[in-house]
Structures are given as structure tokens and as C-alpha cells.
Amino acid sequence: MCGIVGIFSQTPVAVELYESLIHLQHRGQDAAGILTCEERFYPKHGLGLVREIFSSQEISELKGNMGIGHTRYPTAGGYTEADIQPLWIGNPRGIALAHNGNLVNYPELAHHIRYEQHRHLNSSLDSEVLLFILADYLGEREGVKSGHWTLPNVQCPDLTPSASDTFFSQLCDAIKQIHEQVQGSYSVVSLIIGKGLVAFRDPHGIRPLVMGERKRSDGTCDYIFASENTSFYALGFEPQGDLAPGEVVFVDKSGKLFRQIVSQKSFRPCVFEYVYFARPDATLDGVSVYRSRLRMGQNLARRFKEKFPNVVPDVVIPAPFTANTSALSFAHELGVRYSEGLYKNPFIGRTFIMPNQAVRARNVRYKLTPQRTEIEDKKVLIVDDSIVRGTTSREIVKMVREFGAKEIYFVSSCPPIKNPCFYGIDIPSRQELIAAHDTEEQIKQYLGVDGLLYQTEEDLVEAVTRRGQHQITSPCMACMNGDYVCSQLTEEKIQELELRRKRDKI
């Protein structure tokens, strides 16, 4: 899972790209990058948080009225500067790309590029493969031959309207070929020198991609495309909805907007965006993340009353911050006091997206401090967004127990996670997932709680789809039910990918 943004404006975009990445920081804390375009590319990237990477001077050197940005949370690739997006290539023309998602058939695509095309891949990112394929298909349709890596720094003629129409048609053909060849999830923003800004989404719409528009006094418009609309208000953009599954949007150099759905399959957006990843103030695919989490808590509370009819907790406490919204509605439904009994240090990152288990476990106590007045001698009910590996949940329970809780009940807004994710979330293998090999009773004993409750799959889908102007009927829940969007994911392929991820982490 990563955060991407692309902006076309009538004025320089570097500062607004930086501000957008600040709003997308929760989607990736490992690295970040910005790339702008004038008659050449101006890139800047680094490891760490956005505010640590870019200085005012460096931002001022990123020239151009078009640009893309990326915050990285690695599920594929390594931890070096070579594995930071946006990526760019100089031939057949200057093309840059930032990608959120994960390519399931990356090994096969990379093998083809290396050993059949005899070309060099400079990173371990599946995004680089996507960049190569886009450049190749687009070059074929434009009649431009692929070649070596070069820095494009040439004068590009302005596009006429007819030229933009022709190019958009070629672009749609190229991306349709990507849809047919590439398996997995991909929401993409791209810059093409001399042409404009491109955004497109995979045919299932697994990863989110939203659009905004800002009208200027002279009648021209600026456009933004991003993983979430969380920065739109601050930057003065009006939300214009989501890119449809399989849709391509192109803004040419003059600011003319083109859009077309080139291929579309069953709409399967990732449900974990609503459970955990997206910021609560985001609206994705027509659904308010905040409202969906309120409904998750409401549904969960009703199930709790059925399973534990004689239990009335003294206080409902969220595992901050993602579970706060669900815990609030859970407490309201039970008629019980809501309390932030765990204080979270906001300067420590999200433990779920930290690079390994040891760091993740160590940081739980660094970032959370129980408040004794809210816990001691009370029946405490803890609401968390999910139980993935069980490490964080167990540490939270231990801390609450140490601060004098009389009884502890633990509820999860998400159903049991039993399968690895191959579409961009760091749920790497069944071996690491506690629900994949332990029963609910065993998990209860491992966590050390008096009662445990998971959300049902039906209640989670209902919570996401109850309201909103959306077309979602069956979100992707493969990590919970094993129903992978890509039918090519056989058991043999799953085991192969699990082994590959295990080797990559060594």
C-alpha cells in the first residue's frame, strides 16, 4: 500500500505535491519522492518521512506545472534509494510513473524483460516493470522504437487538439494491452514529456484513485489525482469522484481533459482500505470511510450483545487511532462510556507498516501508554481495527492488564485474516497470520482476554455498502476469505509467492 498523487496546474506544482504527500503520509512512511516536468524531468526522493526528505530549496528547484508524487510502504522491492518512486525512463520518450498496488505476475514479466528483451531492470520494484510495459506499448502505437535509458532534455512541440485526440487514442490502446497482460492491482499516475499527465486504474479497481478539479478565474482548470481526497480541501480542489475500474484519464499540455473506460471487469475494491488504511475523512469509491467505520462498530456491537448477553463493559477503549471511529459507535450502541484509555504518541509510525515483526512489537509500547484512571478495576472492552499477526493486540492486552483491568474483552472490526494479500498490503504469508492456523479459542488464549469477537464478513460488507453513491457489491476480501480477484492465483502460485516474499525479507 502506498500513496500516489499527480497534479496538472497553470502554475508550478512542486509545493502542492509536497503538501499532498503530507496528507498521504499515513499510507507510507518508508520513503517518498516527487518528480515534476517542464521540458525535462526534475526528480527528488529519499528515505524517511516526507518532511525529512524535502527542503524548501529543493522544492523550489522542482520546475514545471505538472508533477507526480509517491509515499512508499514496501510490499515489493527493497529498502534502498533505487526502490523509491516515482520512476522514469527516457526512451521511447520521457515517461515517469508512480504506482500503488502489486503485480501478481511480476516474476514472469521481469523475466521476459531481462532474458527475452535483454534489458536492464534497475530496481526490485514491480512498478519498474509496469513503466517498461507502458513505454513499450505506447512506443509501438506511436511508431517510436524503444532504446536505452537517457535523460530527455529536448524541446517538445505543443500539442494541437487533433494531436491530443490521436495520442489519447494511442494511450487507451496501450493501457488496454496492460490490462490484458498485467495481473494484480495498480492505480497509476504518469507524466509523459511533451504530452501531459495520465492516470489509470486496473480493471477491477482494487486500489483507489480519486480525482479533483480546481477552476480558476480565467476559466482554466487544474486537476489532481490521488489515492485519497484528503488533501483536496486544503489545496482548493473540488472532488470529482473516482476513476472507474479500467478507466484512463489524460490531461494534455493545454489542460484539456480526456477520459475513457478501456476495459472493465467485476468491481472489487479492497475492503481493508475502509477497515484500516484510508484516513477517516476520505471518501473512496463513493463511500465515506468515516461513516463505514461507524457502521462497522454498530454491527459489531449488535453481535457482541448476541454473543455476550450478560456482559456490560464499564468502558469501551479503542486501539488508537484507526479504531477510534468504530469504538465510538460501538460504545453508543451498547450505551457504555467511550474513553481513550490508551494514549498514542503521534510521532511514532503505524506499527502495521513497519518493516519487520521485531520492530513492530517493540514499538507498540513506545507508542501506546495506558491511562490508569480509565482502566483500573473496570471491565474493559478494547476495539481494534483488525488482528493480523496478533503481536500488537497481545501487547495492548498485556498493558491494559498491567494497569489493573478487572476483565478484558477484545473485538475486531475486521473478520479473521487467514490469507496473504497479493494486491498491495503487507500480509505476506499464512505462516505469519494467527487466524490462519489457530482457532478463535486459541487466539483468545494467546491474547489473554476474557472474551473475543470478530466482525463477520457479511456485517463488514454491509457496513461498507449500506450508504453512498457507489457501485460496490463485492469488495475484495481475499485476505479474509481466499477469494482472489485474479483467477490465476492457484494454490501452487500462492505458495510460490509466499516463498519469494520470505526470501526477500531475509
Question: What is the per-residue pLDDT across 163-192, written as a single tens digit (0 to 9) for each?
Answer: 999 999 999 999 999 999 999 999 999 999
**Across residues 471-496, what is the average pLDDT?**
88
CB contact at 8 A, 297 and 330: yes
What is the domain partition of the chain in residue ranges? Answer: 3-265, 283-505
Query: 164-167 long-range CB contacts below 8 Å, 24 or more apart?
Result: 164/196, 164/250, 164/252, 164/254, 164/256, 164/258, 165/258, 167/142, 167/195, 167/250, 167/252
Strand-pair category, 337-338 with 315-318:
parallel
Q: What's the pLDDT score for residue 101?
A: 95
Among candidate residues 2, 270, 421, 479, the one labeled active-site is 2
Scored b (16 or more CB within 10 A) or e, 209-236 reads: bbbbebeeeeeebbbbbbbbbbbbeebe
Distances from the Cα of 478 to the Cα of 202, 268, 419, 422, 475, angstroms:
17, 10, 7, 9, 9
3-state secondary structure of 337: strand
Q: Which CATH class is domain 283-505?
A: alpha beta
Measuring CA to CA, which residue among 265, 250, 134, 255 is closest to residue 199?
250
* 2 is an active site residue: yes
Residue type, 53: I
Q: What is the pLDDT of residue 453?
A: 98
CA distance 184 to 19: 29
DSSP for 294-328? Answer: HHHHHHHHHHHHHH-TT---SEEEE-TTTTHHHHH
Helix (H) or strand (E) holding 191: strand 184-192
Amino acid at 490: T
Q: Are 325 and 280 in contact (CB under 8 A)?
A: yes
pLDDT for the residue 498: 82
Confidence (pLDDT) at 198: 98
Q: How far is CA 407 from CA 110, 397, 443, 468, in A?
A: 53, 10, 17, 38
Residue 195 CB-density burial (10 A; 0-12 exposed, 13-18 middle, 19+ buried): buried
**16 and 62 in contact (C-beta within 8 Å)?**
no
Angle at 301 between CA 321 and CA 27, to 5 degrees: 25
Per-residue pLDDT reduced to its tens digit, 306-320: 999 999 999 999 999
At how many degrees (to 10) do helices 161-181 and 126-142 cross? Answer: 130
Radius of gyration of the chain from Cα atoms?
23
pLDDT band of residue 428 (cuts 50, 70, 90) is confident
Q: What is the pLDDT of residue 149?
A: 30
Q: Cis check for the bond before 321: say yes or no (omega within 30 of 0).
A: yes
In this structure, whether the domain defined by 3-265 belongs to CATH 3.40.50.1000 is answered with: no
Provide the percentage of residues in the chain whose pLDDT is more than 70.
91
Chain centroid to CA 237: 21
Nearest of 477, 463, 455, 473 to residue 272 by alpha carbon: 477
Rounded distance between C-alpha atoms, residue 330 and residue 350, angstroms: 23
pLDDT at 155 over 60: no
Per-residue pLDDT tens over the stretch 33-68: 999 999 899 999 999 999 999 999 999 999 999 999
Structure confidence at residue 147 (pLDDT) = 41
Residue 171 has, within 13 A of its CA and on its CB side, a CA count of 27
333 vs 222: CA distance, rounded Å: 44
pLDDT at residue 506 in the model: 56
Residue 148 has pLDDT above 60, yes or no: no
CB 378 within 8 A of CB 353: no
| Joined grid coordinates for residue 37 | 516536468
93, 134 Cβ separation under 8 angstroms: no
Q: Is the pLDDT of residue 129 over 60?
A: yes
Which tens digits make up the pLDDT trace of 363-405? 787 889 999 999 999 999 999 999 999 999 999 999 999 999 9
Which strands sit side by side in the sheet containing 210-215, from one edge to the other?
A: 41-47, 31-37, 66-72, 3-8, 221-226, 210-215, 238-242
